[in-house]
Amino acid sequence: MKGMDGLRGHLVREYRKRTAKSRAVFLRARKVMIGGGSHTIRLWKPYPFLAAGAEGPEVRDIDGNTYVDYWQGHYANILGHNPGLIRRGMSACVGRGALHTGFEAGHQIELAEALVRAVGGGDAKVRFTTSGTLATMYAVMLAQGLTGRDLVLKVGGGWHGASPYLLKGVNFRAEEGFEGRESAGLLDDIVRRTLITRFNDGDDLRRVVKANGDRIACFIVEPFLGVGGFLPASREYLELARSLTERHGIILIFDEIISGFRFCPAGVQTLYGVRPDLTTFGKIIGGGHAVAAVVGPSKLMEGCERSGRDRVMFEGGTFSSHAEYMKAGLIMLGHLARGAATIYPRLARAGEKLRRGVERAFAAEGIAARCTGDGNDVIRGSSLFMVHFPREKEAACDRPEVLHDERRMDRVLREDLLKLALLINGVNVVHGGGAVSAAHRERDIEATLAAYGEAARLFKKYLG
């Protein structure tokens, strides 16, 4: 059978042949776990492989298959899986009795100092927590508490985790664009109070701020849009965001949970030369562990130290600044700082080779595919890549409104079919691509491009 169904049938059969043990475990998991696992994005169809171990650029499943991995721990593992230097550092730490939580100890001060440097130094303070979702939630609460205002502004396509204030305008739907709520269980009032503006669109930002400026507590934006499409903010956009928010007393939050330490050994804000009020970090800063943080000037962060009802209850949580995790983060950031001159240019070259190589692999079979993830005049190179299949060849892939619109992009082809086509060729991706790590070698990149070539030939055979 030709067409999408024929292709899907072929891919599922091939995947099942290779992953019988994973399937059996998945069926067992489904009896006791929602959807058979712990995170929706890991639960692709027909079922995910079960990881047996991961090392450097690769992950191994329980059936004995090995995949070059670009998911890399939700983009946290910039040095690849299980880096020896972090493993060794943590073993020593555990040996000294550091497997504890609930005390102020360990390396949290040094990690906090590194994060203060990462936003340009000066009079900044840090509070740690354990997930990006919590960091952005606390940052928004802090902004609302400090300003006494009740509106939150974010961009369409911006993903900041599942905090109630920010569960709007992540997915694009034909009937409502980015104006929809993302979850049941949210108070209508909170959903109404979250406003959406278009990413990289200065005019739209001016319009929203002009209409609501004195009620907006904060504007939260990723300087490099992650889930929304791997798109860098323009310098002018962030400068405008800075000046408008300053003028209207709005707290500007840069969510650097993906972009922090991804393009340079600091927040990407240091490349833009635009300093927000608050910054959220996560992912890379934990060296593969559950560490996230909010960083900002003392006069704002001290909102958590007030007394009585004016206090913003930003408690990091039971596992905040876990001694072992702090150590892992410190090793990670130290290594990135010392190796920056070689690590980041190498990552950028590999990212570029993948982005252009993937486009060429599909073009060779007459299929239009585009990769986002490129830098711009500020971010000179990038290790990220996301694949898109435009329904019209010439579609401009530079806005989340386009990339998320099923009418303009074939997202089923990417999410369901490309995923499986690459898995049966030994490559694991997310949204058709992912993040290169420092552990990916030249031969991994070549093998990856060969796998995309196989996927493109299969697509042509069934869909051409």
Ligand X SMILES: Cc1ncc(COP(=O)(O)O)c(C=O)c1O
Interacting residues toward ligand X by CB under 6 A = 74, 131-133, 136, 159-161, 222, 226-227, 255, 257-258, 282, 292
Q: Residue 122, by phi and psi: left (phi above 0), alpha (psi -120 to 50) or beta?
A: left
Which residue carries 């079922």 as its tokens? 47
Residue whose CB is less far from ligand X, 86 or 170: 170
**Tokens found for residue 306:** 């007030």
Closest distance between ligand X and the C-beta of residue 46, in Å?
24
Q: What CA dihedral angle connects 34, 35, 38 and 41, to 10 degrees? A: -140
Identify which of residues 258 and 347 has a Cβ nearer to ligand X in the complex: 258
**Three-class secondary structure of residue 175 per DSSP:** coil
For ligand X, the closer CB: 69 or 410: 69
CB of 17 to ligand X, least distance (A): 32
> Chain-centre distance of CA 152, in angstroms?
21
- Min dist CB 227 to ligand X, Å, is 6
The 3-class secondary structure across 96-144, one letter per residue, is CCCCCCCCCCCCHHHHHHHHHHHCCCCCEEEEEECCHHHHHHHHHHHHH
CA–CA dist 90, 38 (Å, integer): 25
**Could you tell me the smallest distance in angstroms from the CB atom of residue 309 to ligand X?**
28
DSSP code for 25: H
Q: How far is CA 38 from the centre of its chain?
A: 17
Please give the Cα distance from 124 to 297 (Å, whole number). 4
CB of 39 vs ligand X, minimal distance in Å: 8
Q: For residue 3, is it left (φ>0), alpha (ψ between -120 and 50) or beta? A: left
Minimum distance of ligand X from residue 162's CB (angstroms) = 7
CA distance 49 to 36: 11
Separation CA 228–CA 171 (nearest Å): 8
Q: How far is the CB of 159 from ligand X (least distance, A)?
A: 5
The closest alpha carbon to 91, from 101, 103, 83, belongs to: 83
SS3 content of the chain, % helix, strand, coil (to 5): 45, 15, 40
When the beta carbons of 315 and 446 are compared against ligand X, the nearer one is 315
Q: Which is nearer to ligand X, 159 or 362 (CB)?
A: 159
Q: How far is the CB of 432 from ligand X (least distance, A)?
A: 17
Question: Could you count the other beta carbons within 10 Å of the beta carbon of residue 68?
Answer: 23
In the bound state with ligand X, the residue whose beta carbon lies nearer, of 8 and 419, is: 419
Residue nearest to ligand X (CB): 132
| CB 288, min distance to ligand X, A | 12
Q: Min. distance of Cβ 222 from ligand X in angstroms?
A: 5
User: What one-character DSSP code corresponds to residue 374?
Assistant: -
CB nearer to ligand X: pick between 134 and 336 = 134
Say if residues 439 and 57 touch (Cβ distance below 8 Å): yes
CB of 443 to ligand X, least distance (A): 29
Is 137 or 350 the residue whose CB approaches ligand X more closely? 137
H or E stretch at 255? strand 251-255
Closer CB to ligand X, 170 or 421, in the complex: 170
Q: Which is nearer to ligand X, 160 or 419 (CB)?
A: 160
User: Which lies closer to ligand X via its Cβ, residue 291 or residue 427?
Assistant: 291
Torsion sign across C-alpha atoms 117, 238, 158, 385: negative
User: Is 85 strand, coil or helix?
Assistant: helix
Pairing of strands 292-297, 124-129: antiparallel
